[in-house]
Amino acid sequence: MARLAWKELRPGLIHEVCQPGLSPLSVVRQDEAAIQRLRAAAERLTSSEPFECARWASILDLQGRHVEAQQVLKERCANEARPGHFGAIRLLTHMIQRHVQWQAERARLEQENRPSKVVPVEILPAEVSREELWKKFVQPGVPCVIRGAGVASFRTLDDLKAISKAQVPVRGCDEASAKWARLEFVGVKRFDEFLQVST
C-alpha cells in the first residue's frame, strides 16, 4: 500500500505530467512546458484530504517551490494521513526537507561567490594639494593612486598626523590565506596607534 502511495506521489505523478511528449528530464530542468503541465495537474486537485495535499506539495516541489511545498506538508498532512499513505508522505516530507536545505546552501554559495562591485580608483598627479586629497579622499575613506610621488604627497609620516584619530583597518600576512598577498583582516586601530607600531 505504501509503495503504491509513493508511486502516486512521485514517479506516477512525473509520468502523468510527462505523457504525452515530454521526458522526465524536462521536469528536472523545469522547462516551461513541464511547468505548465504541473500547474494544470495542481488545478485538477480538488480535495483537501491529506493525500491530495501531499500530491499538491509534490507538484510544488517539482516546480522548484520547495519552501511552499514544505509548508503545505506541515500544515495539512502532518498526522491526519491514513496508515497506507503515512509512510509515503513521510518520505516526501524528508525529500522536500533536503531540497529546502540544498536551496539554502546554493543561495549561500552564490552570495559568497558573487563578485564584489568593482569601483575604478582615481589616479591623481603628484602635485595634488593636500587640502584636495584630504577633502575628496582621506576624510571620506575613498581610495586613490598618487602617480609620480615617492610614497605619497607627504614628506614624512608625521605629515599624516592630521588623520591621527581616524580608524584604519589593519591587515596581517597569514601564510595559510588564499586572499591576495595573503593579507587577512586582523582588526581596526586609530591611525596614530598604527603609526606608532609601524615606525
Cα–Cα distance measured from residue 87 to residue 95, given in angstroms and rounded to the nearest whole number: 12
Residues 18 and 27: beta-carbon distance below 8 Å: yes
Residue 100, pLDDT score: 92
* Phi, then psi, of 24 in degrees rounded to 5: -55, -25
Residue 60's CB: how many other CB atoms inside 10 A? 21
155, pLDDT greater than 80: no
**Structure confidence by residue, pLDDT tens digits, 40-73:** 888 777 667 877 888 888 888 888 888 988 888 8
Calculate mean pLDDT across residues 15-31: 80
Calculate mean pLDDT across residues 86-113: 87
Buried (b) or exposed (e) across 7-44, using 16+ Cβ within 10 A? ebbbeebbeebbeeeeeeebbeeeeeebbebbeebeee
150, pLDDT greater than 70: no
Which of 111 and 83 is assigned the larger pLDDT?
111
Cα–Cα distance measured from residue 123 to residue 146, given in angstroms and rounded to the nearest whole number: 6
Residue spans per domain, the chain: 2-113, 122-198
Residue 109, pLDDT score: 86
| Lowest pLDDT segment from 37-46, 72-81, 139-148, 151-160 | 151-160
Cα–Cα distance measured from residue 163 to residue 170, given in angstroms and rounded to the nearest whole number: 15
Cα–Cα distance measured from residue 93 to residue 79, given in angstroms and rounded to the nearest whole number: 12
Confidence of residue 97 (pLDDT cuts 50, 70, 90): very high
Q: Cα 120 to chain center, whole Å?
A: 26
Residues 51 and 32: beta-carbon distance below 8 Å: no
Which of 107 and 168 is assigned the larger pLDDT?
107
101, pLDDT greater than 90: yes
Give the H or E element holding residue 91. Answer: helix 83-113
* Phi, then psi, of 36 in degrees rounded to 5: -60, -40
Sign of the alpha-carbon torsion through 61, 65, 107, 22? positive
17, pLDDT greater than 70: yes
| Lowest pLDDT segment from 93-97, 112-116, 183-187 | 112-116
Residue 44, pLDDT score: 78
105, pLDDT greater than 80: yes
pTM: 0.50
Round the average pLDDT of the chain to a whole number and report it: 78
Cα–Cα distance measured from residue 63 to residue 127, given in angstroms and rounded to the nearest whole number: 62
Q: Cα 148 to chain center, whole Å?
A: 42
196, pLDDT greater than 60: yes
Which of 198 and 172 is assigned the larger pLDDT?
172
